[in-house]
Amino acid sequence: MGFADGSRSKRIGVILEEHNFSCGFFCKGSCKSYLFAILLNQYDLVVVWSANRDNPVNEGAILNCTAAGELVLQTQPGNLRFTTPSSI
């Protein structure tokens, strides 16, 4: 999927299909790094939230939801890039 500005998206799943939202990893330019985001699927994709805007990850990053309900994004076990402050 693509954005109007040439960015690309690698979508990993639809959150609320009836409202046209999805979540996934998206990149700009050469796609060497990615942000995890919630997207609004209109004619052009719109990013409505991004977890790691200041700390993008490479392909192969790991996204988990812990037993405590925290969303955790890491590049490898122990290399944390983003976590939610409380349960989601």
Per-residue pLDDT reduced to its tens digit, 22-80 = 888 887 667 788 888 888 877 677 888 888 888 888 888 888 888 888 888 888 777 88
Q: How many domains does the chain have?
A: 1
Can you give the pLDDT at residue 4?
67
Inside any domain, residue 1? no
**Structural domain for 32, as ranges:** 8-83
- Cβ partners under 8 Å of residue 37, min gap 6: 23, 24, 25, 26, 47, 48, 49, 50, 51
- Are the beta carbons of 79 and 62 closer than 8 angstroms? no
Inside any domain, residue 2? no
Per the model's pLDDT, the better-predicted residue between 12 and 84 turns out to be 84
d(CA 13, CA 37): 11
Tokens of 45: 């994709």
d(CA 48, CA 58): 21
**Residue 88, pLDDT above cutoff 80:** no
